[in-house]
Amino acid sequence: MTTSTATTEFDAREALRQHFEKNALTAFDNCIELLRQRDLYLHALSKIEQGADLTGELPELKLVNKTVAKKVVKQLIRDTEKAAALVWESPLKIFTTSARSRIDELSLLPSFDALYTAKSNSGAVKIAVKTWRRNLTVSVEGNESACHSVHGQLVMAGIRSNFH
DSSP letters spanning 107-142? -SSPEEEEEEEEEETTEEEEEEEEEETTEEEEEEES
Q: pLDDT (tens digit, 9 = 90+) per residue, 93-152?
A: 889 999 998 887 877 888 899 999 999 999 999 999 999 888 999 999 999 999 999 999
pTM: 0.80
**108 in a domain, yes or no?**
yes
**2 in a domain, yes or no?**
no
**87 in a domain, yes or no?**
yes
What contacts 74, CB < 8 A, 6 or more positions away? 45
**151 in a domain, yes or no?**
yes
Number of compact structural domains in the chain = 1
Q: pLDDT (tens digit, 9 = 90+) per residue, 37-70?
A: 999 999 999 999 998 888 888 888 788 888 998 9
Domain that holds residue 22: 12-162
**Whether the predicted pLDDT of 89 surpasses 80:** yes
**1 in a domain, yes or no?**
no
pLDDT, position 7? 62
- Cα 54 to the center of its chain, rounded Å: 32
Report the amino acid identity of residue 98: S
